[in-house]
Amino acid sequence: MDVEELKLKAEDSVESQRQQLIQLSLNMHDNPELGFKEEKASAWLASYLEHNGFHVERGIAGLPTAFRATYGQESPRIALLAEYDALPKIGHGCGHNIIGTSAVGAGVASKHIIDQLGGSVVVLGTPAEENFGGKIDMVKAGAFKEIDVAMIVHPDTRNMPTEEALAASSLEVEFFGRPAHAAGQPHKGINALDAMVLAFTSINSLRQHIRGDARIHGIITDGGEAPNIVPAHSAATFLVRALDDDYLAELKDRILNCFTGASVASGARLEYRWRDRTYAPMKNNMTLAGLFKQNLQSLGRGVEDFDPRSGLGSTDMGNVSQVVPSIHPTIAIAPREVLLHTPEFAAATVSEAGHGGLLDAAKAMAMTVADILQPGMLDKIKQEFRRG
């Protein structure tokens, strides 16, 4: 069977799974689960693969809701990544129900390709993308050690073969002051909230003088107890993002200076902690992206190059892309004006366009599996990866 026949058969396989994949996506949409609590979604996806002949291991890499489902025994091993975590209050506003179902659909549709060409397809269930970066833990635990190539498709408002993602670090800060009656003895107090407000002001000034693609944003999580008590404690969480690790390191220093300066000015003591899970920038494998793009076009989709106007975020797929040749393309499921991380986008994931995106993403990934297993292709992909 030549590669084009294998691809046609992969399309047929996704079509034959249509009802089941859509039902899985609907179930996930109707039962949104937060990061590391995706018990139902991970069980549904893993069971689906098991029923379709995959060897399934649950709770890998020390993460109870992560799984590995393998078809085939040999290398090369091609990973298709499933996400399934939702957002607080807005459910699947990032469309991870489509990511999860397209990965399992592509996995099942790749079986006949593996039977013909050898190698293995590995569907990896990767929890908690949004808040914790489950893939960061999985990379550290060695879950990608035997993987040769990794693919994931994210729903969006455009079809793009690659997506840029910013490196991101999360900072927890606290100021400790001294309480006092805010009217009776204000001169005895040290105002921890003022320290935080000063730090916000300094960061707002800093923001004018940083690169346009860097981001600094945060919220105050403790701003005091009552207006008649000088706040003795304040707390905030910040995210700092940049296109590369070097600039991220530079920004982290400059942001800390804002907090240190506010501490000196107010007299409130500063404590801070950078979270140890840092999202790495996305290293797109252009050879792989080119294959995926052609396959998506052959399904009748217009494909555009990455456009920063579609938004710059961060993803733990960045960390995967630093250790294994990877792509993180997008599939359009909603008009341009619909924003990710909104209830409107969550609704779009279960619209006709959402179902169409899910099926096309599954088809294009399975077709790309057939391309990767053609003679010489994996070498080309790996050479590009090594060149950096």
Q: Which residue, 62 or 88, is less far from Zn ion as judged by CB? A: 88
> Binding Zn ion by CB under 5 A: which of 45, 80, 94, 359?
94
Size of the site for Zn ion (CB under 5 A): 1
Both tokens of 149, joined, read 């190539």
Among the candidate windows 87-95, 195-203, 236-244, 296-304, which touches Zn ion by CB under 5 A? 87-95
Q: Which residue, 94 or 167, is less far from Zn ion as judged by CB? A: 94
In whole angstroms, how close is the CB of 28 to Zn ion at the nearest point? 13
Helix (H, G, I), strand (E, B) or coil at 7: helix
In whole angstroms, how close is the CB of 32 to Zn ion at the nearest point? 13
In whole angstroms, how close is the CB of 99 to Zn ion at the nearest point? 7
Whole-Å CA distances, 13 to 64, 107, 221, 331, 367: 30, 10, 49, 19, 11
CB atoms within 10 A of CB 352: 9
Q: Which residue, 152 or 303, is less far from Zn ion as judged by CB? A: 152
Among the candidate windows 3-11, 94-102, 193-201, 359-367, which touches Zn ion by CB under 5 A? 94-102
Give the chain's length: 388
Among the candidate windows 32-40, 54-62, 86-94, 359-367, which touches Zn ion by CB under 5 A? 86-94
Which residue in 341, 334, 317 sits closest to 82, CA to CA? 317
Q: Site mask, Zn ion, residues 42-81, x = CB under 5 A?
A: ----------------------------------------
Q: Which residue, 94 or 362, is less far from Zn ion as judged by CB? A: 94
Residues 86, 32: contact at Cβ < 8 Å? yes
Interacting residues with Zn ion between 5 and 34 (CB under 5 A): none
Separation between Cα atoms, residue 220 and residue 200, nearest integer Å: 10
Contacts with 311 (C-beta within 8 Å, 6 or more apart), sequence order: 340
- 317 contacts Zn ion (rule: CB under 5 A): no
Q: Which residue, 94 or 203, is less far from Zn ion as judged by CB? A: 94
Instruction: Name the residue with the smallest CB distance to Zn ion.
Output: 94
Separation between Cα atoms, residue 363 and residue 15, nearest integer Å: 9
Q: Which residue, 94 or 103, is less far from Zn ion as judged by CB? A: 94
Interacting residues with Zn ion between 320 and 349 (CB under 5 A): none
In whole angstroms, how close is the CB of 94 to Zn ion at the nearest point? 3
Among the candidate windows 93-101, 113-121, 207-215, 251-259, which touches Zn ion by CB under 5 A? 93-101
Q: Which residue, 193 or 332, is less far from Zn ion as judged by CB? A: 332
Helix (H, G, I), strand (E, B) or coil at 165: strand
Whole-Å CA distances, 365 to 144, 208, 386: 18, 41, 23
In whole angstroms, how close is the CB of 330 to Zn ion at the nearest point? 10
In whole angstroms, how close is the CB of 153 to Zn ion at the nearest point? 11
Whole-Å CA distances, 157 to 126, 164, 239, 352, 354: 23, 15, 25, 14, 10
Contacts with 67 (C-beta within 8 Å, 6 or more apart), sequence order: 42, 45, 46, 56, 57, 58, 59, 60, 124, 125
Helix (H, G, I), strand (E, B) or coil at 14: helix
Separation between Cα atoms, residue 331 and residue 98, nearest integer Å: 10
- The CA-to-CA distance between both ends of the chain, in Å, stands at 34
Residues 238, 171: contact at Cβ < 8 Å? yes
Q: Which residue, 94 or 230, is less far from Zn ion as judged by CB? A: 94
Q: Which residue, 94 or 192, is less far from Zn ion as judged by CB? A: 94
In whole angstroms, how close is the CB of 293 to Zn ion at the nearest point? 20
170 phi/psi in degrees, rounded to 5: -115, 135
Q: Which residue, 63 or 94, is less far from Zn ion as judged by CB? A: 94
The DSSP bridge partners found for residue 236 are 173, 220
Q: Site mask, Zn ion, residues 140-169, x = CB under 5 A?
A: ------------------------------
In whole angstroms, how close is the CB of 344 to Zn ion at the nearest point? 14
In whole angstroms, how close is the CB of 2 to Zn ion at the nearest point? 36
Interacting residues with Zn ion between 185 and 224 (CB under 5 A): none
In whole angstroms, how close is the CB of 341 to Zn ion at the nearest point? 6
Q: Which residues in this chain contact Zn ion in the complex, by CB under 5 A?
A: 94
